[in-house]
Amino acid sequence: MAEVLAIIEQEYAVGNARAYLGEDSRLLEYGDANCDDKSQIYVAEIQRNNASKTITLLINRGDPNAVSQPYIDSVTGKVRISQPTKTESPGWSAHLVISLTAEKGKQHRACFEKMSHVSSSLVLSAIDKIVTRAIKKNNKYTYVVKVKKDKKMVEESRHYRPTLSIAKVPSENLLKDLENGELSAITLTKQRTYYSGPGAEDLIKRQEERILLRVVPADAGVVKKMVKGVVKWAKTEKFEEISFHLGRLPGGVTNHPTLSLDDQDALEQLYVRATRLTDFTILLEACYAEICPQIEKKMIDVVNGKDGW
């Protein structure tokens, strides 16, 4: 993690801790013809807190395709739309607080602010894009391997890319949702190498094998028994993750939780644990130019707290 954060800080210092977004929030390469300065996700501010041993990133995202903010006058019935300027776009911010103290297994606690248009998966992809671009021609990020060429063992230098991954803390119970909703599909995923063509060693980040199981409606007890059997089989076959496609939950809600099969209690897990932060003395905004001290303080308290981990 230290390598990733150091790279992000370096790129932020020179104004390069950013990535362009195309249609459907797809990350674009620098120089792509579809790059639009108004459609970016970037690190607006980053700062370390030595007292709490944390680092905070403020992630901003602009979306020129989003609807501008409307205002209504309830007395006159008039509606006013606040239009952006030529260089502006509707924007959103999300704070990310990471503990600099490693837990067991070298993992670090983190707290991410839930904000529309700025998902944790999008932020993680943007960080990966920023890091990849930053180290592209940096020989510091190389390692040496021995390979056989012309019947001789020779040493070759290969590039590696520091990455940041997340393990979300679950909060609910899957079996309860199976009773209240309807399971339509199960997806099993594991890393497996099939492709060995051009770019396989240097450019391909990961290859996966996926099995999609379509499920017909059935009694909750039957489905629960089947799910337990699928989980047991998936572990035996070395699958890493299992995803459930749940619909017809109370209120018309649908959910698509993904669980790690490395966890011995995988079936007891579901969703990401969320904590509601309250008692602010200011009105909170959807977007910030700088880190909001009150939001940061409460998120640091969550990261360093004893509960929920």
Q: What is the pLDDT of residue 169?
A: 67
Q: Are residues 86 and 13 in the same domain?
A: yes
Q: Are residues 9 and 116 in the same domain?
A: yes
Q: Are residues 190 and 202 in the same domain?
A: yes
Residue 204 located in a structural domain? yes
**Residues in the chain, pLDDT under 50:** 271
Q: How far is Cα 148 from Cα 157, in angstroms, rounded to an integer?
A: 14
Neighbour tally for 184: CB within 10 Å: 16
Q: Are residues 182 and 65 in the same domain?
A: no
Q: How far is Cα 224 from Cα 230, in angstroms, rounded to an integer?
A: 10
Q: Are residues 230 and 299 in the same domain?
A: no
Q: Are residues 28 and 102 in the same domain?
A: yes
Residue 63 located in a structural domain? yes
Count of domains forming the chain: 2
Residue 132 located in a structural domain? yes
Q: Are residues 266 and 281 in the same domain?
A: no
Q: What is the pLDDT of residue 173?
A: 63
Q: What is the pLDDT of residue 166?
A: 81
Q: Are residues 266 and 211 in the same domain?
A: yes
Q: Are residues 2 and 39 in the same domain?
A: yes
Residue 231 located in a structural domain? yes
Residue 147 located in a structural domain? no
Q: Are residues 188 and 285 in the same domain?
A: no
Residue for token digits 């924007």? Answer: 91
| Backbone φ, ψ for residue 102 (5° rounding) | -75, 140
Residue 143 located in a structural domain? no
Q: Are residues 3 and 134 in the same domain?
A: yes
**In this structure, are residues 88 and 38 in contact, taking their beta carbons and an 8 Å threshold?**
yes
| Ramachandran assignment for 238, one of left (phi > 0), alpha (psi -120 to 50 degrees), beta (any other) | left
Q: What is the pLDDT of residue 269?
A: 53
Q: What is the domain range of residue 130? A: 1-138+275-309
Residue 213 located in a structural domain? yes
**Using one digit for the tens of pLDDT, what is the confidence trace for 86-106?**
999 999 999 999 999 998 878
Q: What is the pLDDT of residue 266?
A: 57
**Using one digit for the tens of pLDDT, what is the confidence trace for 62-90?**
999 988 889 999 999 999 998 999 999 99
Q: Are residues 132 and 40 in the same domain?
A: yes
Q: Give 2's contacts (C-beta < 8 A, 6+ positions apart).
A: none
Residue 98 located in a structural domain? yes
Decide: pTM greater than 0.95.
no
